[in-house]
């Protein structure tokens, strides 16, 4: 649970903005989406390797 202390005289919009920023940093939404379905560790690892290869390919293209 996120707790955002509101200071005296603080605008509610500013407090809401701090809440949203803190919510994004914690990664709650990403975690919920990841838990909706089980993904085998081998599939996760394969996706990581593919992503790394893609990024490496982009960096190689920038160098040339």
Predicted local distance difference test score (pLDDT) of residue 3? 87
CA angle 24, 15, 17 (to 5 degrees): 40
Which burial class, exposed, middle or buried, applies to 15 when counting CB atoms under 10 A from its CB (0-12, 13-18, 19+)?
middle
Give per-residue pLDDT as tens, 6-58.
888 999 999 999 999 999 999 888 899 989 999 999 999 999 999 999 999 99
For residue 35, give the 3-state DSSP assignment. coil
Question: Which residue is associated with the tokens 């599939």?
Answer: 43
Predicted local distance difference test score (pLDDT) of residue 64? 80
Beta carbons of 6 and 15 less than 8 angstroms apart: yes
Nearest-angstrom CA–CA distance, 61 and 45: 24
């Amino acid at each position: 649970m996120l707790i955002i202390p509101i200071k005296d005289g603080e605008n509610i919009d500013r407090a809401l903005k701090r809440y949203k920023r803190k919510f994004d940093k914690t990664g709650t939404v990403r975690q919920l989406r990841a838990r909706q379905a089980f993904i085998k560790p081998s599939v996760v690892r394969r996706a990581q390797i593919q992503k790394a290869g893609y990024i490496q390919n982009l960096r190689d293209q920038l160098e040339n």
